[in-house]
Structure 1
Amino acid sequence: MAGVVGQSSGVRPTRSHGVRFEEDVISPATIAQLAEVPAVSGRRDPVSILEDQALTRDADLIPVRHARMSATPFTFYRGAAAVMTADLAATPDSGIRTQLCGDAHLSNFGVFYTRERRMIFDINDFDETHPGPFEWDVKRLAASVVIAGRNNGFPPKHTAKHAAAVARHYRRYLAESVEMSTLDCWYARIDVDTRFPELRQKLDTSTAKSTQKMLKKARHRDSMQAVSKLCRIDERGRAHIRSDPPLLVPLSELAADRMFPGGGVRTAGEVAAAGTALMGLYRDSLPDHISALYDQYEIVDVARKVVGVGSVGLQAWVILLWGKGKNDPLMLQVKQAQRSVLADYVPVPDYPGEGWRVIEGQQIMQAASDQMLGAITGRDADDHLHDYYVRQLRDGKGSVVVEALDPDGMKAYAALCGRTLAQAHARTASRHEIAAYLAADDDFDEAIAEFALAYADINQGDHAAMMAAIDSGRIEAADLAY
């Protein structure tokens, strides 16, 4: 958005999802081989991977990313998708390709509203989505369960059972999916109002109350709620995005900021015009019936916002739009999309841009996607192309507080996420091949649990290496509240 002009593509590429790409023929891994982790001595230094990622991100925000990642081994894991993908690529794989989330950890599942205003539970982050070996998603999810469980103080016997629950419920749903019609698989969804009472029975009282509180809060997380949290009202009653640097900075305050790579100074008017031009590209990328909706709003304000853990340092903007009524806001998020961390290790489809990769992967895997999704490509002040995707900032979005789960609650939640991941994979043509590979073999559950426990040890060491790098001054971490 910083001095951006560019292009959008209204034409989606044609590809065959769920079909293996042409590549060298390698014998597929046995179920037992899926338990293997890379030898620690042969792994690349995890800190160097983070340093490489920093080269393509906003240098001012890299210390914030490091601070958020370093908080616990679990927060490190959330930001270390690139580290784990390099490890997965060094181990045997099934050879069965499907559309992956690419970053399927516990905190990337949650609730949100469909366009029919039903609240569902599904995967909710697709920044790294890409075709790849199906078990990579399962392994990342299962390892996150073990790491989060350790973070909560659970003993090994519990975390092993939780990881096995991910694999077991994934495997069972895939077996069920081959008996379902293609359309039934496509329309399958987890409705919160019907499924939560069942889940609540498996949670202890305190956890159930916490989850119920999350759902109640999520139902009120909309653009009006975002305005109350992120905006100030001036003396004339108009909303403006408030300033809370470096985590939230209105675009006008960045006009003379060094974020412009060419070093040139931009007036507030020039910056605003560039932002308007970029949103014009977004509008042109929308289908006609959604652009008719978008046209009922006008842009009021724009700000840079730091989001997530692993995404910190990539450009992320919040756009405040307003309709004709007094209480008629719409808040959108424009987020930079870079090459998926999986792309160095698997065949890469021909996407027109990384924003298209994100929204297409989301629409393939997610039971119901945001109707405001859009993808655009623009040039910065140095004539460098950047890809972006656009979505609503808040539309009933909420996530379970993983840190509040007890062992029984974690097991139930791990099972739910495993089933949800299977539902996403079963939307593709690969479901028959995955189900045949897994058959009814519970050895898969044991192999994934074994992998998850071993990888949690590796992650623990990687987190310690990051802390040592911060202490030595090799990398910098900001002292900011998260």
Structure 2
Amino acid sequence: MPHTNQDTATRDDRIARGRTARAAVPRSHHAEFPPPGRRPDPLALLARQDADRVPELVPIRYGRMAASPLAYFRGAALPAAADLATTPRTGLVVQACGDAHLTNFGLFASPERRLVFDLVDFDETLPAPWEWDVKRLAASVEVAARENAHPPAQRRRGVLAAVESYRQAMHDFAGRTALEVFHAHADADALRAIAAHRLGSSGRRRFDRTLARARARNDVDALHRFTEIRDGRLRLSARPPLVVPVSRLAGDGDPGTLEERLGDVLSRYRRTLAPERRAVLDHYRLADVARKVVGVGSVGTRCWLALLVGPGAEDPLFLQLKEAGPSVLQEFTGAAVRCEAGRRVVTGQRLMQAVGDVFLGWVRTTGFDGRVRDFYVRRLCDGKGVAEVTTMTANVLRAYARLCGWTLARAHARTGDPLAIAAYLGSGPGFAEAVREFAVACADQNERDHTALRSAIRRGHIAVASGP
């Protein structure tokens, strides 16, 4: 957990800390975005990440990023971190998401089987300045609004809604006890109330459709989407290059022994679970494993889809084993990470999420290609639903941005000092207006970077693969 003075400092001391940070770094300074001459080449940064990825999957990554400025934005977490590192820092640290854009929030099922809304991606999580996450979120609102052809005034309102929601929520959490902050979450009923208040009847219908889609994404649904009966046994279906069963895999380990090695990896992952969760996992046996392509920025990292089956005919459990590397924030924060990369992701997720995945765990292995690699493990399907931001009207996007701002503030309040951050933010819109300027400049640069990527592809400097 990031170090704060909450355990020993008085309330007045914590407020003074926030105000001192404001004096050192005025809120208006957060409008700054690095000019082109101060930025490293974003394509060079992306290429640096490619060096340790599965070679035949890298063209898929660039094909997905080239699709639109928003797709590029989603995949460019490292260039974004490099930009943020040049901006003013308040000195107030939280457990940061590291990639807090709109599509990294979503719905999933709690252990009590209620749908909750939270951050859903923690690959880059690390202790870092809280304002980096806020700026990444604000910029994503501007980029998404441009993708939807919203007029400038509506884009401005959307960005301000996200940042002001963060500020207001942080003031609320600053007045709560640590336990109240820990238990705060937005479940489906709360989300529906927000939608009803802000969106009217058409917005409520859109929201209900999102919930319906999320509820459909469970293990039984995945059973029909991802599996087939082959040679009399339940197996994962092949959909190359996006899903490739280990029996058909070449170039990333010996297919003849890979499934056995992955079974051993799952056994070691089991030890990172609490005893009662191990007891549930022990009802299942490994039936098949496939390599799976996920996301945009993650394409090319090793990700395995494990099919486990229980004693019943329709009792599947799908686990995702996703490779974890250093956070994109690490070189810019100077933070010392003394644990496995998979454990870093799991710890960050547990710190930030109000409700967690009961099967979340990690493992380190040398079994695939002779190199030490870290993975974290989670359920593939658990009522998950991510909103389709490219189909949102301006009003819906603004309400969604407001919800994301509240959620990010709650995550930061769990691990940082909400009183100091609230004191820094103050009671006016100064911070939000400055971040809005940052978001516009960031979106402008994002469009130029996306154009540069497409130009490099046209010139044959970067190979791409089309497809979903």
Amino acid at match of 2:387: V
Structure 1 spans left out of the alignment, 5+ residues: 1-14, 261-265
- Residue number in structure 2 paired with 1:6: none
Q: Quote the residue 2:267 is aligned against.
A: 280
Structure 1 Cα separation of the partners of residues 255 and 166 of structure 2 = 53
User: Which residue of structure 2 lines up, in the alignment, with residue 162 of structure 1?
Assistant: 158
Aligned equivalent of 1:468: 455
Number of equivalent positions: 454
Cα distance in 2 between the residues matched to 1:396 and 1:30: 42
- 8 A contact 1:355–1:389 mirrored in 2: yes
Specify the code of the residue in structure 2 equivalent to 1:462: D
Deviation larger for 205-214 or 89-98: 205-214
Deviations 1:324-352 (A, max 9, x none): 11111100000000100000010324332
Change (3 A) 1:381 1:395: closer
Q: 1:251 aligns with which of 224, 246, 250?
A: 246
Deviates more, 1:144-153 or 1:222-231: 222-231
* 1:28, distance to aligned residue in structure 2 (A): 4.2
Amino acid paired to 1:231 = T
Q: How does 1:394-413 map to 2 (within 5 A)?
A: 394-413=381-400
Q: Which residue of 1 aligns with 2:378?
A: 391
Match of 1:108 in 2: 104
Q: Give the 3 Å change call, closer, same or farther, for CA 351–207 of structure 1 in structure 2.
A: farther
* Structure 1: 4+ residue segments shifted above 6 A: none
- For residue 92 of structure 1, what is the aligned residue in structure 2? 88
Distance 2:336 2:426 in 1: 29
Is the aligned partner of 1:241 residue 2:236? yes
Does residue 227 in structure 1 map to residue 244 in structure 2?
no
For 1:18 and 1:220, the matched residues in 2 are separated by 41
Write the distance in 2 (CA, Å) between the matches of 1:160 and 1:312.
32
Alpha-carbon distance, 1:197 to partner:
3.5
- Contact 2:261-2:368 within 8 A present in 1 as well: no
**Matches of 1:288 and 1:58, distance apart in 2:** 35
Contact in 1 for aligned 2:154/2:394 (Cα 8 Å): yes
- 34, 53, 56: which one aligns with 1:57: 53
Instruction: Map 1:306-455 to 2 at 5 A.
Output: 306-455=293-442
CA apart distance, 1:201 = 4.3
Q: Does the 8 A contact of 1:29 with 1:95 survive in 2?
A: no
Higher mean displacement: 86-95 or 428-437: 428-437
Residue pair 1:207, 1:404 contacting (<8 A) in 2 also: no
Q: Is 1:19–1:97's contact at 8 Å kept on the other side of the alignment?
A: no
Per-residue deviation, residues 73-108 of structure 1 (Å, max 9, x unmatched): 000000001011100101111111111010000001
CA RMSD of aligned residues (A): 1.8
> How far does residue 441 in structure 1 lie from its aligned partner after superposition?
2.8
1:41 Cα deviation after fit: 1.9
Within-5 A mapping of 1:27-42? 28-42=24-38
Which has more helix, going by share of residues? 2
Look up the match of 1:83: 79
* TM-score of the pair, normalised by structure 2: 0.94
Name the SS of the counterpart of 2:330 in structure 1: coil
Find the counterpart in structure 2 of residue 74 from structure 1.
70
- Which amino acid in structure 2 is aligned with residue 360 of structure 1? T
Q: Helix, strand or coil: the match of 2:228?
A: strand
Query: Which amino acid in 1 is paired with 2:53?
Result: R
Taking the aligned partners of 2:53 and 2:201, their CA distance within structure 1 comes to 43
Aligned to 2:332, the other structure's residue is in SS state coil
Displacement of 1:380: 4.0
* Pairing of 1:118-137 with structure 2 (within 5 A): 118-137=114-133
* 8 Å CA contact 1:112, 1:396 repeated in 2: yes
CA contact (8 A) 2:93 2:416 kept: no
Does structure 2 retain, via aligned residues, the 8 Å contact 1:204–1:408?
no
Q: TM-score when scaled to structure 1?
A: 0.91
Gapped regions of structure 2 (runs ≥ 5): 7-19
3-state SS of 2:319 partner:
strand
Q: CA 1:235/1:250 → structure 2, altered by over 3 Å: closer, same or farther?
A: closer
Q: Aligned to 1:345, what secondary structure does the other structure show?
A: helix
Change (3 A) 1:89 1:240: same
Deviations 1:404-433 (A, max 9, x none): 111111111111111111111111242122
- Three-state SS of the structure 2 residue aligned to 1:278 is helix
Distance 1:312 1:18, change over 3 A: farther
Aligned counterparts of 2:435 and 2:190: Cα–Cα separation in 1? 30
CA contact (8 A) 1:17 1:99 kept: no
Structure 1 258/235 Cα, relative in aligned 2: closer, same or farther at 3 Å? closer
**CA distance change for structure 1 residues 88 and 69 in 2, over 3 Å: closer, same or farther?**
same
Instruction: State the 1:207 CA deviation.
Output: 4.9
Alignment equivalent of 2:181, drawn from 170, 177, 185: 185
Change (3 A) 1:213 1:296: same
**Alpha-carbon distance in structure 1 between the residues aligned to 2:462 and 2:406:** 38
